[in-house]
Amino acid sequence: MAFSEFLVDRVRRTFKENHSAFEEKKMFGGLCFFVDEKMCAGVFKEELMVRINPQNESEYLQNEDCREMDETNHSMKGFLMISPEGIDMEDDLDKWIKRCLAFNPIAKSSKKKLG
């Protein structure tokens, strides 16, 4: 299992509850969620990947359930991994998805198009 289907279902539901249209794409061994053709969040194994405003990154990293995304041996600014313990409550998952959605309008779009 490359990613948790249970967490994927929870993330889908959270996007829908926030009235956000999204697309899904399997990438990097996980499932990524795109809003307005920009990567917004993802599920990798049991963790949630979030794309947040890099200006808030150091604040969010104070949370013990949060770490830098460094899957390629170098951290990616504005991308964090949230442990299962950090999103076990629906309110916590909703908080992280809301942070992703707040940053999405100003996030840079990928040069490549989906599809």
Low-confidence ranges of the chain (pLDDT < 50): 114
Class of domain 5-106: alpha beta
pTM of the model: 0.89
Contact 109/38 with Cβ under 8 angstroms? yes
Q: Domain residue spans in the chain?
A: 5-106
pLDDT at 101: 98
Angle at Cα 52 formed by Cα 47 and Cα 53, nearest 5°? 160
Cα dihedral 69→62→52→80 (10° resolution): 10
